[in-house]
Homo-oligomer: A and B are copies of this chain.
Amino acid sequence: MPIPPRVLKRRELARTRLFRVEELWLRFANGAERVYERLCEPLHGAVLVVPLLDDRTLVLVREYGAGLDQYALGFPKGAVAAGEERLAAAERELREETGFGARRLEFLKTLSLSPAYMGHRIDVVVAWELFEAPLPGDEPEPPEVVTWPLARAAELLAREDFSEGRSVAALYLVQDWLAGRFRR
Contacts and interface: CB of A to CB of B under 8 A. Distances in A.
B32 A141 contact: yes
Contacts of A116: 63, 65-67
Interface stretch (A18-26, A82-90, A99-107): A18-26
Contact of A39 (B19, B23, B112, B160): B19
Q: Is the interface of A mostly helix, strand, loop or mixed?
A: mixed
A1 to B, nearest CB: 6
A17 interface: yes
Q: Which of A23, A28, A67 has the most CB of B within 10 A?
A: A67
A134 to B, nearest CB: 18
Nearest to A27: B140
A164 interface: yes
25 contacts: A14-B14, A16-B37, A19-B39, A28-B64, A39-B39, A66-B116, A67-B113, A67-B117, A109-B157, A109-B168, A110-B160, A112-B163, A112-B164, A113-B113, A113-B114, A114-B164, A121-B163, A122-B165, A154-B176, A154-B183, A157-B173, A157-B183, A158-B183, A165-B168, A169-B169
Shortest beta-carbon contacts, A-B, top 3: A65-B115, A14-B14, A165-B166
Interface of A: 1-2, 4-5, 7, 13-19, 21, 23-24, 26, 28-30, 32-34, 36-39, 62-72, 74, 109-122, 140-141, 144, 154-155, 157-158, 160, 163-166, 168-169, 172-173, 176, 181-184
